[in-house]
Amino acid sequence: MNKSTKGATAMSAHTKTTNGNPRSSQKLFVIGCLLLLCVSFLRISAQTPSPQAAELNEHGKAFLAKRQYKKAAEEFRKALAIQPDYQDALHNLGKAMEALGKDDEAVADYEKAIKLAPEDAIAHNDLGHALFHEQKYEEAAAAYRKAIAIHDNYPEAHNGLGAALLHIGKTDDAIAAFEKASSLDPKNVDALNNAGAALVGQQRGSEAIPYLEKALQLKPDATDILVNYGHALQQTGRTDDAIVTYQKIVKSHPHDAESWAYLGHFLYAAGRYPEAETNLHKSLALKHNQPDALFTLGAAYQAQGKTQEAIHAYEKGLALKPGDPHGLSNLGHSYQQQKQYDKAILTYQKALASQPGFPDSLAGLAASQLATNKLDDAVATYKVLIPLQPDDPGLRFNLGTALFNKGDFRGAADSYKEAVRLKPDFAHAHYNLGMSLLRLNDKQAAQEAFAEAHRLDPSLNAPNGK
């Protein structure tokens, strides 16, 4: 009796595995903020500075524009030594400290500036930047909201708020903030890219594409945007376009191991297995410790019938990422292909210990148990799996086979009936239904089942004398 089994699946860190579709961890770029902003809001100053302090402040701003941040900080400190409550100098010192990577000092400077001018939206926004860099996302969001409360039409603050919200798991609110930023400033590339990245992260590629295409019109060669665009294209089934996008990325960044890995992933998804293999080798030559790339390489080998090479790739990946259920499941399938069923069973069991109820592992385990005549175990496994995939006729067929071999002909007949209900042209299921009905001495129904099997597949004939 025929048995159906699940095929290999390539891996990813975040997306659900489906048969025949490689998985990969998504490399999404979200830009939290810009250090130095040029906005049109009126800067609010607490008082008129002394001429000497004002001159030093201007010197500092000139150094800031030239990215000479240490010199800028020196000038701002000189201004503050003359006039400690000079709000603009305090704010600018915060910018210099942030640019130097001293975010804690930047936060302190911004907070002092805000005390002197509580309605300075830019200072609240820049405080949000510094807090974001310190990974204090809740506090950053609060600072951005204060900036927006002062000036609602402030695209940079909405963009920064979106980045902070994304990091605290409020994805829908983050997307709304990015969309608001891009509506206020249609040429804000960061907001457009961030909206696209957030949507891709929710597997909403079709919604992401318009934002990313607008961003690419403004910055056609921006790698971060191209990365997100490639994933969006893949999510919408435009795999060939995703491949072209990633080919552009690796041409510009030939030493980027992850981009070569993603290109290999998309080539695998397109069924271009030799090319996938080549590109994954390029990725691993640049960076060998990539378990997901190794899992996808294993799947590419497996699809080409290179089972031993697939096993080697899976084992290397699992050495880097022990207990990965997808890697273990694919390794189990490779053992199954080599008819090393005991190894396959053990490997599938390890996968299920890591992720109970994983359908691919359950399917492989049940098929291996059936192949080794562990019928009670096979029946038990199929009864766990079928509620997870109730519309799969192959699982009903395999359960019927296990029950038939156990001598449970009524149970087998019921399973085969379910298989043909789900797939009316399933010739072997009709045939096996006939065999089960014969054992139940229902010859009329058996003959009808054999006749339908023969109609669908003329090579299938009723047993002699039946």
**Spatial CA neighbour of 294 closest among 330, 251, 269, 246:** 330
Contact in structure between 43 and 122 (CB atoms under 8 Å): yes
Match 């199954």 to its residue by tokens.
336
The answer to whether the CB of 267 falls within 8 A of the CB of 286 is: no
Select the CATH number that applies to the domain covering 393-466 from these four: 1.25.40.10, 3.30.1780.10, 1.10.630.10, 1.10.3720.10: 1.25.40.10
pLDDT of res. 296: 97
The structure tokens listed for 141 are: 């969001």
251-256's contacts with Cβ under 8 Å and 24+ in sequence apart are 252/221, 252/223, 253/223, 255/286, 256/286
**Between 33 and 55, whose confidence is greater?**
55
Give 333-363 pLDDT, tens digit per residue: 999 999 999 999 999 999 999 999 999 999 9
Task: Please provide residue 202's backbone torsions phi and psi, each rounded to the nearest 5 degrees.
Answer: -100, 15
Position 39 pLDDT exceeds 60: no
Q: Which two tokens stand for residue 362?
A: 């359950």
| Tens-place pLDDT, residues 444-454 | 999 999 999 99
Q: How far is CA 103 from CA 87, 92, 97, 126, 238, in A?
A: 18, 13, 7, 11, 42
CA 150 to chain centre: 36
pLDDT tens per residue, range 55-88: 999 999 999 999 999 999 999 999 999 999 999 9
Domain boundaries, the chain: 393-466
pLDDT at 15 over 70: no
Split at pLDDT 50, 70, 90, the class of 466 is low
Q: Is the pLDDT of residue 34 over 80?
A: no
pLDDT score at 40:
38
Q: How confident is the model at residue 464 (pLDDT cuts 50, 70, 90)?
A: confident
Q: What is the pLDDT of residues 137-157, one digit of tens each?
A: 999 999 999 999 999 999 999
48 confidence band (pLDDT: 50, 70, 90): confident
Name the band, by pLDDT with cuts 50, 70 and 90, for residue 45.
low
Helix (H) or strand (E) holding 144: helix 137-150
DSSP secondary structure code for residue 224 in this structure: H
Q: What is the pLDDT of residue 26?
A: 38
Q: Between 20 and 118, whose confidence is greater?
A: 118
Query: What is the rounded average pLDDT of the residues 292-304?
Result: 97
More confident residue, 34 or 145: 145
- Structure tokens of 400? 């019927």
Task: Tell whether the model's pLDDT for residue 35 goes beyond 60.
Answer: no
Confidence of residue 224 (pLDDT cuts 50, 70, 90): very high
Q: Is the pLDDT of residue 415 over 60?
A: yes
Residue range 239-263, pLDDT digits in tens:
999 999 999 999 999 999 999 999 9
